[in-house]
Amino acid sequence: MNSFYSILYAGINPASGDKLAVGLFLRGDQRPRFAWSKRRVSIVRDLMGGDAYRLLAQNLKALQRKAEEPNADPSDLFNGDVAAKSAYQLNEPYFQYLSRYSNNLLTFGPVTPITMEATEQKFGDLFRLLVDDLTMATVGTLRKDIDETKTQLKERIGARVSWNVELTQLEIPGLLVPTIQLDFIGRNKKNVIGEVVDFEKPDYYLKADINKVDIVTHALNEKGTLGKAYVVGDEPEEKDHPQQHLAWLALKASKRIELVPSSEIQRVEQHLEEENVQPWR
């Protein structure tokens, strides 16, 4: 049975051409299989900074989404020139195309034919051999990119709340600081606030995001004007992000702040509609 694989690389030094294997695509007669290494992608963040890391992770997640949902619209696969190829399919000619012409942060290795069945077990063996032998492949449930989550949430509730609002002590008596900026706030008889949070960001910054929601929630609750407080975000990997996972668990157990996964943002929309919430300003 004829199959092929292509290794995906992250360019970590454009001057020297150094690159790091981060993912593997395998295609046989059945569905395509794709996975990437979160451990190796995190190295890119350490070497090249957060912007490069976010761009790389976004493209890897897009390819994973396309591999797992073969009927999805291909136009959202990449943000770069590759996305403009209208004849996109996850097949051998397309990966030959990517191998020759993709020269950005994420690059595709040459298509390598193999004579074997592209089973899950064989895929795992190849992934450990060619990409990362220390961690399992990142497959299964997708965590949405933080910007993607914000965009989708804004499309659903943008007419009922104010976005990126800087709240002052005059507007929210009892705030401990002069101003606090939240992702969204709306009101009717009571106020609804929320923040979209990346639970895999460094622990210090994550705590700052959670604390500002807690501060506003406490101030509104003291005045009896709190309706709902939301934190929208996905569960982080406990092994890779132990402190962030503890924060996620604490929020999940909270009675004052409701934790909403990115896959369930319709819960926020439903509440705003039921309560006829209107923009803060």
pLDDT at 147: 75
CA pair distance 139, 153, nearest whole angstrom: 24
- For residues 170 and 243, membership in a common domain is answered with yes
- For residues 106 and 218, membership in a common domain is answered with no
- Show which of 130, 164, 198 is a domain's final residue: 130
Q: Are 174 and 219 in contact (CB under 8 A)?
A: yes
CA pair distance 263, 29, nearest whole angstrom: 31
- For residues 227 and 108, membership in a common domain is answered with no
Q: Could you tell me if residue 154 is inside a domain?
A: yes
Residue type, 118: A
pLDDT at 279: 97
pLDDT at 26: 86
Q: Could you tell me if residue 141 is inside a domain?
A: no
- For residues 227 and 165, membership in a common domain is answered with yes
Look at the chain and report how many structural domains it folds into.
2
Q: Could you tell me if residue 170 is inside a domain?
A: yes
- For residues 106 and 227, membership in a common domain is answered with no
pLDDT at 90: 58
SS3 assignment for 36-91? ECHHHHHHHHHHHCHHHHHHHHHHHHHHHHHHHCCCCCHHHCCCCHHHHCCCCCCC
- For residues 150 and 52, membership in a common domain is answered with no
Residue burial 182-220, b: 16+ Cβ < 10 Å; e: rest: bbbbbbeeebbbbbbbbbbbeeeebeebbebbbbbbebb
Q: How far is CA 137 from the centre of its chain?
A: 17
- For residues 152 and 119, membership in a common domain is answered with no
CA pair distance 201, 210, nearest whole angstrom: 12
pLDDT at 33: 81
Q: Could you tell me if residue 160 is inside a domain?
A: yes
- For residues 174 and 253, membership in a common domain is answered with yes
CA pair distance 204, 198, nearest whole angstrom: 12
CA-based torsion, 82, 85, 88, 90: positive or negative:
negative
- For residues 184 and 268, membership in a common domain is answered with yes
CA pair distance 11, 26, nearest whole angstrom: 21
**pLDDT, tens only, 200-245:** 888 888 999 999 999 999 999 999 999 999 999 998 878 778 999 9
Q: Could you tell me if residue 135 is inside a domain?
A: no
Q: Could you tell me if residue 107 is inside a domain?
A: yes
CA pair distance 187, 275, nearest whole angstrom: 9
CA pair distance 115, 185, nearest whole angstrom: 57
- For residues 90 and 159, membership in a common domain is answered with no
- In this prediction, what percent of the chain has a pLDDT beyond 70? 80
Q: Could you tell me if residue 140 is inside a domain?
A: no
- For residues 118 and 170, membership in a common domain is answered with no
Q: Are 59 and 27 in contact (CB under 8 A)?
A: no
Q: Which domain holds residue 202?
A: 146-279
CA pair distance 115, 125, nearest whole angstrom: 15
CATH code at 196? 3.40.50
pLDDT at 144: 58
pLDDT at 27: 81
pLDDT at 145: 66
Can you tell me whether residue 269 is helix, strand or coil? helix
- For residues 203 and 111, membership in a common domain is answered with no
- Show which of 130, 164, 190 is a domain's final residue: 130
Low-confidence ranges of the chain (pLDDT < 70): 1, 14, 29-31, 68-104, 135-145
Q: Could you tell me if residue 139 is inside a domain?
A: no
- Show which of 86, 105, 130 is a domain's final residue: 130
CB neighbour class for 71 (10 Å; exposed up to 12, middle 13-18, buried from 19) = exposed
